[in-house]
Every structure is written in C-alpha cells, then in structure tokens.
Amino acid sequence: MSVAWVVDSNCFIHLGQKAEDGFVQDLIAALRGARLLITPGVEMEVATVAFRRCQGHPRVLTALKDVLHSVPVEEADVRALAQRIGEAAAPQDVDLSLMVLADSLGAENAEVVLVSDDFKMTTTAERADLRFTTCPPSTFVERLVDESNDTNREARFRSLSRQVRAAEMKYAISRRDEYDVQRKLTWMVDSLISSSPALAPGDEGMEDAQEQHRKIADLTRLLRGYTIKPKRIEALGDLPDICAPVTKLDAHLETLRTQADEHLPAAVESTSTLLMEVMEEVGMGLAPLDEEQAEIAHRAMAGSFLRTESALGLMARMAGHLQHARRHLARALHLATLVDDVGSERKAMRRLGMVALKSGDLPRAHRLFETAANQPVNDPMEAMSSVVMAAITSVILENTTTAEHWVRHAAATLMASPGAGSVALEKVGRDLMAINRPDLAIEVFDEAMECALMSNDREQLDLVAQRMVTAEFALEKEDHEALPRVRLLLDKLTPVDQGATKAQHISQAEKQQNNAP
C-alpha cells in the first residue's frame, strides 16, 4: 500500500470486538507486505485486548505481530506538541505520541493516515496544521477493500466495516451531552464518502455533491501545505494556482504579533494592503470560472480570510476604532459560517461581544455572548469565556435568572478541571483588560486564582496574581466603579474563598511590580 497507516488503541479494541476468524489472513493479504505503525504506548493500552469472536480468543497484538511495527517517540517531542497545542486542549500522551509519529512521517512527503475515532485528535491536527489526515477505524477497514482482489474478502471487509461503524456511532451518540456529536458524525460520514467507490447509476446528483465536498477538502488541505494525491490535484484544475495567493496571508499572520506590538498602525496598514492585494489577485483568477468552481475556491480560502479579518478586528479594537473592529469581526463571523467551523463562529461572536461591551451596547453584547455560549462544543472548557461573559452581561442587565443559569453551567465545568479553568478565566480577564474594563477583570481574575489554588498550580497562581495587581492599578485610573452584584455572582463559580492565601500572593506580586525597573 502507498499509505502509511498509524493506528490508535481504539481501532484495535473495535477489531478485537468485531473481527472474526480469517480477518488476520485477510488483513495480511490486503497490506501486501506493509505494516501498521503504532507506538509503545499503544502496545501497553491494548496488551490484553483479544479477538473475542475468533477461535481461541488470541490476543490482538500476538495475532497481528507480523503486520505491526512499534516506533518509539521521544518524550521531548510529545511535550513540544502538547505545548504547541496548549496543554489544556491537548489529547492524552499516547494519542500525542501517535500524532508526533504521523506528523514526522508526513514531513517525508508520504501519505499518512492516523486511524482513530477520537474526534479530538482530528480537530487538534487541523488546528495545529499537522501533516497527516485522519479516519475512523470503520473507514480504514472500508479502504482495505481497494487493496483486495478477492470478492469474498471484499464482502468480509465491508461487513466488518459496517459493524465497526455501528459501534462508533452508538458510542458517539451516547456522549451527545458531552460534545458536538453532529460534527463527529459528519466527519465519520465524510471520511467514508471520500473512500467509497462511485455510486450506482441514477445517483449522479448525490455523486456530484460528494465530489464537490471532496474537492473543497482537497483544496483546503493543499493550501495548508499538506500533500495530497496527484490525481486529486489534477481534479482541481487551475484552482490551486488561482488560490495560492491566500497562503501569503497565513505567512504574514505568523509575524504579525511582533509587528503589532512594535508599531500598531504599520501592522494594520500592511495587513490591510496585503488582504486587498490577495483578494484582487484571486478575484481576477476566479472571474472566468463557473459558479461551482468559484464556490469550491471560496470555501477553501475562507479560513485564511477569516484569520486575517479577525486579526484586523483585534488590532482595530486595540487602536480604539470600535466600528472598524466590529466590521472586521462581523466579516470573520460570516467567513466562519462558510467553513462550518463552530469554534471560529463562537470566537468571532465572543470578540464582537467584547466590542459591543466596550461601546456600551450591553443588550447586543449579551446576545452575542449567549449565542456563542450556546454553540455545541467537544470540550465544555472551550465555551468557558462565552459562558462567563454571558453571566456577567446578564447580571449587569439585571437578568438574575439567566445569570444564575450561566454561572451554574460554568461552575460545573470549572470544578471538573480547575487547572484548565484557571487558564480559561485568566484569558477572559485579559480580554476584559483589553477593552479597559478592569472592574470586571478583577472579579474574573479573583476566581481564576481560586481555581489555581484548587489545582495547586503555583506558577499559574503567580501569573494571575500579577494580572490582578495590573487590573487594580488600572482601576484606580478608570471611571468604572466596582459592581457588587457581579462579585456576588462570580463568587459562585468556586465553592470556597481562600482570601488569605490570595492576599498573600497579590502582596508578593505588588512588591515585584514596585521593584521592577
């Protein structure tokens, strides 16, 4: 096979539950001498997993030893990836080791597929632009059909694929209250469609729609620097060359933070100019094309334009140009809907909410925060910023019932993971400082300190204490008055008030700031 398969523990668990006698021989024949790649962590996790439906119930690792190859991964590489992703958002270490292995293979220009039904690995890989694709175990088994030249073997693979897929969907649906199951099911179906043979005659309309979806995915991945099959590139025609200018935007954004810190007006000007140039160049290339090709291009490029508009919106907010900020962030929200990225939509709405709060339009800010908070999530912590801001704006608007609802929601998430909660709350506080609302930031930082104490994270505690001192200093210079009802509401985020300990750390932070040159 030309594909390098990196396989996670869940795949072996599914196979152990569903595969029957003859599967090992079928797999060996389909792989044609290739091996499935795993890491030592996977070996440990599935050491006792057996083929339950096979005679003698052999252990999976023993039965498949001839087609498995375990590749050690450096712990430093795993930690580096976790830091790159963000410790709070990163998958478990074994999953990270598989992602490191797959990404390193992808750097060698191989077609690498990580087999896992853990949707967090897929979304994380996309967010971090890692050099591999993913598919669930059921799709992996389905793709083995392409490598089989035996009709009976094909039928067995298809039967196994259906059984595994049913188990995957049943598990996903059972966790519908924990994350956005619709996105995961869509991903599973899309992965199956992209690996399936042509549909039966009479399904031309559905086949055209699936092919267009596949082209959008291929072009998006190509623009992000992934390697895709030459035949898929050929199917895109001139679109890769026409859309190539958008890669200049992502390259520019990588250096933008430093530029913005040093000279904000110049950063805004250079970003705006580049955006106009790219849009003009791409527009001229798309003008002669038909509607279908233009739609493929626009959806594939939407992510790059989204990130650029978001950056312009944040810089406009930093400069105090609220209408400009709102315009750019509204465009970012629109672009997020084109790529069907719930996370980006939520982020754009939250940023628009901050602009509305800064401008004094509390009802609009509240609507934006609530809409963002109600978006589906894989991890409840992803919505923490929106939920807390929905609570704050509710209580300021004197909607006590709604405020209590959002605080209970946030408190449950914080208590489940106070360490990650402290990080999330600290970010909310920084966002409030960015719009000159130290009065609100102080109350949020106070709860972030509580969470840091609960998780016994001294480094995070010191960081938030420094933020608290900065906010208190800013409050002295601002006209905002303390809002007792906000404090009373947010106090319910954590179960206890460790006032003495917090005061000690704040005092230390004040001394450090006073002694700073």
Based on the fold, state whether residues 388 and 479 are members of the same structural domain.
Answer: yes
Q: Which of 332, 367, 382 is the last residue in one of the domains?
A: 332
Q: Say which range, 296-310, 335-349, 483-497, has the weakest mean pLDDT.
A: 335-349
CA distance 439 to 409: 23
Q: Which amino acid is at 105?
A: L
Q: How confident is the model at residue 385 (pLDDT cuts 50, 70, 90)?
A: very high
How many distinct structural domains can be found in the chain? Answer: 3
Q: 242 — alpha (psi -120 to 50), left (phi > 0) or beta? A: alpha
In the prediction, which pLDDT does 61 show? 93
Q: Which of 302, 332, 362 is the last residue in one of the domains?
A: 332
Q: 216 — alpha (psi -120 to 50), left (phi > 0) or beta? A: alpha
Burial 237-261 (b: 16+ CB within 10 A, else e): eebbebbebbbbbbebbeebeebbe
Residue 429 has pLDDT above 90, yes or no: yes
Residue 204 has pLDDT above 50, yes or no: no
Based on the fold, state whether residues 120 and 37 are members of the same structural domain.
Answer: yes
Token pair for 465: 């204490």
Segment 268-326, tens digit of pLDDT: 899 989 999 998 888 888 888 888 888 888 888 888 888 898 889 888 888 888 888 88
On whether residue 231 sits in a domain, the answer given is: yes
On whether residue 281 sits in a domain, the answer given is: yes
Q: To 5 degrees, how large is the angle CA 57–CA 150–CA 21?
A: 10
CA distance 352 to 347: 9
Position with higher pLDDT, 441 vs 87: 441
**How far is the CA of 158 from the CAs of 2, 145, 146, 147, 155, in angstroms?**
21, 7, 11, 13, 5
Quote the domain boundaries for residue 428: 341-517
Residue 11 has pLDDT above 90, yes or no: yes
Based on the fold, state whether residues 278 and 404 are members of the same structural domain.
Answer: no
Residue 257 has pLDDT above 80, yes or no: no
Position with higher pLDDT, 512 vs 416: 416
Residues 204-225, mean pLDDT to the nearest whole number: 73
Long-range CB contacts for residues 373-377, cutoff 8 Å, separation at least 24: 373/406, 373/409, 375/342, 375/345, 375/346, 375/349, 376/179, 376/180, 376/182, 376/183, 376/342, 377/179, 377/180, 377/342, 377/346
Token pair for 22: 């003859």
Based on the fold, state whether residues 356 and 497 are members of the same structural domain.
Answer: yes
Based on the fold, state whether residues 126 and 211 are members of the same structural domain.
Answer: no
Residue 397 has pLDDT above 50, yes or no: yes
Residue 68 has pLDDT above 60, yes or no: yes
Q: Say which range, 263-272, 463-472, 501-510, has the weakest mean pLDDT.
A: 501-510
Q: 511 — alpha (psi -120 to 50), left (phi > 0) or beta? A: alpha
In the prediction, which pLDDT does 504 show? 62
Based on the fold, state whether residues 273 and 349 are members of the same structural domain.
Answer: no
Based on the fold, state whether residues 112 and 25 are members of the same structural domain.
Answer: yes
Q: Say which range, 190-199, 223-232, 294-303, 506-515, has the weakest mean pLDDT.
A: 190-199
> pTM surpassing 0.75?
no
Q: Is 105 helix (H, G, I), strand (E, B) or coil?
A: helix
Residues 481-496, mean pLDDT to the nearest whole number: 80
Residue 87 has pLDDT above 80, yes or no: no
Q: What is the CATH number of the domain that holds 441?
A: 1.25.40
Q: Which of 193, 216, 251 is the last residue in one of the domains?
A: 193
Based on the fold, state whether residues 346 and 318 are members of the same structural domain.
Answer: no
Position with higher pLDDT, 171 vs 325: 325
Cβ–Cβ < 8 Å for 426, 445:
yes
On whether residue 199 sits in a domain, the answer given is: no
Cβ–Cβ < 8 Å for 471, 441:
yes
Position with higher pLDDT, 145 vs 248: 248
- Cβ-in-10-Å burial (0-12, 13-18, 19+) of 498 comes to middle
Residue 498 has pLDDT above 70, yes or no: no
The most confident of the ranges 126-135, 355-364, 498-507 is 355-364
Cβ–Cβ < 8 Å for 4, 111:
yes
On whether residue 198 sits in a domain, the answer given is: no
Q: How confident is the model at residue 178 (pLDDT cuts 50, 70, 90)?
A: low
Position with higher pLDDT, 87 vs 379: 379
Mean pLDDT, the chain, rounded, equals 82
Q: How confident is the model at residue 90 (pLDDT cuts 50, 70, 90)?
A: low
CA distance 377 to 311: 23
CB neighbour list of residue 149: distance below 8 Å, 6 or more residues apart: none
Based on the fold, state whether residues 225 and 181 are members of the same structural domain.
Answer: no
Based on the fold, state whether residues 152 and 220 are members of the same structural domain.
Answer: no
Based on the fold, state whether residues 495 and 356 are members of the same structural domain.
Answer: yes
CA distance 502 to 497: 9
Q: What is Dmax (Cα atoms) for the chain?
A: 78
